[in-house]
Every structure is written in structure tokens, then in C-alpha cells.
Amino acid sequence: MNLIKDLTSFLKEAKKPLVVIVAPTAVGKTDISLKIAKNINGEIISTDSRQIYKEMDIATDTILPKNQKGIPHHMLAIRKPNETLTLAEYKDMALKKIDEIYKRGHIPILVGGTGLYISAITEGYDVPRVAPDEKLREKLQEEAEKHGPEYIYKKLKKLDPNTATQIHPNNIRYVIRAIEINKSTKFPKQDKKFKPPFDIFILGIERPREKIYERINSRVDQQKNSGLIEEVKALVEKGYNPALPAMTSLGVKEIIPYIKGKMPLPECLEILKRNTRRYAKRQMTWLKRYDNVRWLTPK
């Protein structure tokens, strides 16, 4: 694939261009997105559901301002760990950012690996606008921790079997949100679609699975050396509820047992590596559902 030629041709013809860069975690989205943004006068909008949180830069592998090379970045560190952001709220904010970027004469670029965030914009999801039910969330989270994720997934299957087929049983956050919507509206969760007003160019980055796993293991070691333990300790000391979506993020929930003296650090780090590998595998499965992706390898 001649990326430069294809992208240049797309930008010449598109009336409202939207570039999307997708890939599983640890593949190298950040470096490539910076290069592309610089070449096409772009601004980056994060589509990562964990990078919306403050105080968690290391755990969520969020690019710091000093490393952004002058490229404007949006939707990063916009909520405290104890604050929520629904999919509907994310979509509204992201669409507003896209409009602002157009007005500056720049190209919006979505970058991240949270499939629902990407689909909400590129597939025009009209998502339910249901306020969070914190008591229900806490109750379901406790049940998941006590009985396992399959326990609450079966609850969702009973309430809304159609939605259950679209969510992985281990994706506790989305399982809980689907139950929450069902109980609030008394109807199954329905994400209606409409044609988005964009001309979309989707670029996917892929590596051999074993190479991704190697990079994940290496990144966890680097996170530890960069202050991951101290970052999670600070979150725990501030008293954030472990059941909060932010505190169940990869890189946080695995380290909490060490902070509380319940598990040795090497074991926690191995669990983090394993969970991140599993997450990358789920991301790869999700991303393969798109049939209009131009795939390339980082080289």
C-alpha cells in the first residue's frame, strides 16, 4: 500500500475528511499518528476510554505534552478518576472537537483502540443517554469480583440477549453499562445508527501477535521503571473507590493488591502483562470487523 499517495488523494477529494488510526495496544499508534498529523496538518483526538482520566498517565500510557511534538491532542485527561464519562458524552465532546478542528482548517485524526468510541463517531451511533447509577454499578462490580465476570454476563444475557452477543464476557465495564441502561429504560440497549457526515479514511497498524506480546511485556517493565507503582499508590492514598471505572483500568487494578500488601510485586506485574495481552487480542478481534481498513506494518 502506498500510504502517502492514497492519503493525499483522499484529502484532495474529501469534503469533510476524518482520518482514523486503529490498532491494538502497544503496536505503535502514537509514533505513526504523530508523523501523519505533522504531514497533513492534523490534530489528534484520542479514542482511548482510559486516557480520559487524570492522574493516570503512566498506567494508561498517555502521551505527555512534552512528547506531542507540537501536535494538538484532545480528549486526554479530561476527567478525575472519580468522575464518569458516558459514551454519549464522549461522542458529543469529540464531535465538537472535530468541528473546531475543521474551523481551524486542520484535519481531525482519531487515534486509539476503544472500538465503541471509534464506532460511535465513524458509524454514527445514536447512543442511549442514561445517567450512571452508581449504586447499581458498585453492586454489580462487587458481584463480578466475588463470582467472576461470567456471573454478571449471564444477568445481561437474561435481560438483553441481543446486546450480550456484542459484548465480550470479560468486558465488565460494558456489561455493567448495558445492564444499567436496560434497568433504567426497561428496554434493551439499542444503539441506532445514522450515516455520519464525514469522508473517512481508516488506517490500521498490525504486527505479528508474538511481536505485540513482546512489546507489551517490555512496556510493562518500562512503566514500572517510570513510576507506575508510585502513581497507583497515590490513587489509593487519595481514597478512590477500587470499583470506579478508572480504578479498574489496566495498570491500576493489577497493582492495587501490591499496594495493599496482598500480593508480591512480580506476581502483580505478570498479571498485568497477561491481562494486557488478552486485551490486545480482544482489540484485534474487534478491529477486524471493519472491512474498509488499509492495513500496514510500522516499518
Listed in sequence order, the DSSP H helices in 80-133 are 87-103, 115-122
Residue 181 CA to its chain's centroid (Å): 20
pLDDT band at 190 (very low <50, low <70, confident <90, very high): low
User: For position 192, what pLDDT does the model report?
Assistant: 56
Cell of 180: 444499567
Which residue's C-alpha cell is 497533513? 40
pLDDT band at 214 (very low <50, low <70, confident <90, very high): very high
Helix orientation angle between 228-237 and 209-226, rounded to the nearest 10 degrees: 60
As a whole-number percent, the residues of the chain with pLDDT over 90 amount to 59
Task: Give 15's contacts (C-beta < 8 A, 6+ positions apart).
Answer: 199
User: For position 187, what pLDDT does the model report?
Assistant: 58
> What is the C-alpha separation between 265 and 259, in angstroms, rounded?
9
pLDDT band at 286 (very low <50, low <70, confident <90, very high): confident
User: For position 194, what pLDDT does the model report?
Assistant: 64
Residue 110, sorted as left (phi over 0), alpha (psi -120 to 50) or beta, turns out to be: beta
User: For position 115, what pLDDT does the model report?
Assistant: 82
Per-residue pLDDT tens over the stretch 89-136: 999 999 999 999 999 999 999 999 888 889 889 987 766 677 778 888
Q: What is the mean pLDDT of residues 200-207?
A: 93
Q: Which residues pair with 74 in a beta bridge?
A: 45
User: For position 54, what pLDDT does the model report?
Assistant: 97
Per-residue pLDDT tens over the stretch 68-77: 999 999 999 9
Pick the CATH number of 209-283 from 3.40.190.10, 1.20.140.10, 3.40.50.1110, 1.10.287.890: 1.10.287.890
User: For position 282, what pLDDT does the model report?
Assistant: 85
User: For position 271, what pLDDT does the model report?
Assistant: 97
> What is the C-alpha separation between 49 and 52, in angstroms, rounded?
6
Cell of 277: 495481552
Listed in sequence order, the DSSP H helices in 203-288 are 209-226, 228-237, 256-259, 265-287
User: For position 101, what pLDDT does the model report?
Assistant: 98
Architecture in CATH of 3-127+193-207+285-296: 3-Layer(aba) Sandwich (3.40)
pTM of the model: 0.83
Q: Pick 9 or 129 by higher pLDDT.
A: 9
Per-residue pLDDT tens over the stretch 17-56: 999 999 999 998 999 999 999 999 999 999 999 999 999 9
User: For position 171, what pLDDT does the model report?
Assistant: 73
